Chains A and B, each alone.
Chain A
C-alpha cells in the first residue's frame, strides 16, 4: 500500500532531515513510528502524501508514485486520511461543515450525501450531538475525534496519524486512542507517529524507530518490545517505559 524507498530530504542546503529511509506499510497493516523529537518521524509521514517534498528516493502509494510531477496530488491526497497533532479543524466552520467541505469540493458529493456521511461518522466517534457547534466549543479530545471523522469521510484507503495525542490532556488521550484502536481492528491501513507505546503494543503490526533522520529499527511489534536490536532504541524505550 505504502512503499517508501531510499528517501532523502534536506531542509535548505544544510540539514538532512531524512537519510535513506526505506520501509513499507502493507494493506491492513498498522505501523507505529516512534523516536525522539527531531528524529524525522513527522517529516517522513508528511512525505507520504507529499505535504513535504523530498529530494531523492521514491514513495509509491497504492501503485501511484507520489513524487512524480505528473501525479495529480490533490486527487491522491484525497484518498489518504491525515490527522494532525493540533487537530487543525477549520475554526469558522461548524463541526458538520468541517466534515462536508472536502467531500463536496473534492469528491463532488451532493450536500445531502455529504451531510448523511458526516452525521454517520460523527455518531461513530460519539459526537452526534455536537454537529452544530464550532470547533472552539469542543474539548481537545473531541476535536481530535472530529478530525479523525473528517478524514474518514473521504473513504480513505489509508490513514496517517501525526502525533494525534501529543497535544491532549492525559484524560482525553484514551478517547482518541479508542477510536484509533477500533479503526485498526476494522482493518484500516494505518501509519501512526506516536509515543503511545500502549497503543503500539495493542494494535501495531510493526514498530519503526527513527533517530536523526534514519530508520534505526523496523521490526514486528513483539521483537521491538521484546529485544530491540539497537542500543539507541533500547535507551529510548527504557526512558519512556520507566514511568
Chain B
C-alpha cells in the first residue's frame, strides 16, 4: 500500500464514491496523503458514519425519566435504582463471522464488552442473537460450529456469563450469517465515563494490546456486500485475545475508581482513527498524535497502517496530567502497554506525526459535519403471497413432535452448554429456564432481566409489523419473568441500502419499532446498524434485532417457565388462530405465506401489565409467553423445563384445533397458577382476555383429543436435532 498514488481510483477502492472523494479534496484543499485518504474513507464508511440510516433513526424514541444516556455514547445507560445504572448495547459482527467464524464471533464479543466497560461499568452478562443459513447448506455447519466456539472462547475466558440469546435458521442467511452480540454492565449511577475530550495540553494515552496489521479496513469491508471473493477478505478480520481483554477490564475499572480519567474511548472499528477523531470531535478540541510512541507488534508499520489497524483490546484515554503516574502504575501492575501518544490541542485539527513527518493534518469539524448523509430512495417491499384457509395435513400430535424438533424450535442446549452461564455467581435464571435471563446484581436484591428478540420471517413479510413485533416480544419476555421493562438496544441488520426495496424495508422497520417503543414506554438507548448484508446480490431477511433490559426489585420474585404438577394452566391474551408466517405453516404445511400476526400494542400493554402484577403478587408459579410455534409448543416447553406433564382441554369451537394450538397471535402468555379461578376473575376485572386451557400433572402431555405424548418422547424430539447435526 505504501507508495500508492492517491487518486479517485484508490478512493473508490477504499469505498469512497466520486462525490465523496471530491468532498474530501475540497475539505483538504490539496491532494490527501495516503493516511488522510484512509481516515476519510473509514470515517465516512457506512459502518462509522451511518450515512444511509441516520435520517431514519431520528424517529426512534430515546427518552424516558430513567434514561441517563441515550444513543450517541459508547452504550446506552439507564437508571435501575439503588444508585446504580445499567450500561448496555448490542452490536453486529456479521461480515467477519462469515469470513472467519471463530475470530469474527470472538472479536464481536470483545468489541461489545469494551463499549460497556469504557463507560465505567463492570460487564455482568452477555447475550447473542444469531441467524444462520439452512442446516442443509454445506457451509452452515462450519459457521455454526465456529461462531459458537468463538463466542464461548472469548466470553468464557473473560469471565462474563453468557446468559441468553436466540438462534434462527433460514436459507436467506446461507451466505451471510448474523452475529449480534450484546453486553450488559453495571456502574454507579454517578460514575459514568464519557468520550468527549477536554483540557488543552492533556495527555492522550494508549493502553492495552500492541498495534499490528490486523483488521486494516475492517470498517470498509463491513460496509460492502460480498461477492465470490469473500474468502480473500480474511486478512481484514481481527484476532481476539480474551486474556488481554480481561486484564484491560480489571485495569480500566481500577483506574476508574480514581479521578485520573478525563475521557475514554475504546478502539473499535477504524481503531485509532475513529477513537481519536470522535474524542476530539465531541470535545471540540484538536488532537496531536505521535505514532512513534504507539506500541507496535510488527516492524515497519506505516502511519496509514497504524491509523487503520483494528487490532483488538486497545483503549484511548485523556488523563489529568497530574494523575499520569497513578494510571501508569495500574497498567504496569496488569502488565499492559501504557503509552502517552499525543496531547490535546486548540487547533481543531487531527495532526498525525510519524518519523519526523506530518502524515495527516485534517480539520475535524468538516470531517464530521460534511460527512455524507443520504436520503436514499425507498420502495415498498412486495407483499408476501396471500394465504387462504389451510387444512391440517398432520394432526396435533404429529405436528407438535415435528415442530418441537425443527431447527428453529429445537433445544438450544448444545449451544448453551458451550457458554459459561454461571461465572460471577449471580445467574438466577440460566438459558432455557425462563423467557428472559435473570442476573442478580452482586450485593443487592435487585436483578436485571435480559432478552434478545426478532422474528426475521415476520419482518420479511411486513417490515413494519415485524419490527413492532420484535419490540413487543422483548417487552413480553421481560414481563414474563416479572421484570419491569426499561429500554432496548437495537441491531438493525439489512441488505444493500442502495436498493430501494431494501431501504423501504429499513424505513418501515424503523417506523414499526418507533411505534412499539412509544406505546410500551420502552425507548431505544443504544444500537447499531449493519447494512450490505448480501452475498452475490442475495439479501438476508430484514432483521431488526432487539435487546431488551428490565429490572426486578427483588430477584426472588422472578419466575421461570418450568411447570410443576397440580397447577391450573391459563392462557392470557386473545387468540384468533393467526397462521400467516407461522412455523406451523412453514414446517407442516410447507408454505411461507400470509401476513405476520398483527401486534395490538394497547392490548399488549394491558395483558403484560396484568401478568407482571400477578407475578409480583406471588400468584404465578410459572409463566411463558406464546411465540414461535404457538400455544401447544409453549405448553410443551413448560412441561419439558419442569419435567411435569399436563392435560389440555379443547379450544374454542369456532377455531380449527391447529389454528388455536399453533397460531402465532401476539400478546399472549401461559400462566401456571395454583388458583385458576382467581386468575380468571382478576383478568375479567382487568379487561384482559383469559381462558383455562388445562392443568398440570402426570408424566406426559395429554392433548385435547385424548392422546398422550410421554415427556420422554417429547424430549427426544426436542433435543435431538443439534447434537445429531453438529456432533455431541
Is chain B a partner of chain A in the same complex? no
A residues touching B (Cβ–Cβ < 8 Å)?
none
B residues touching A (Cβ–Cβ < 8 Å)?
none
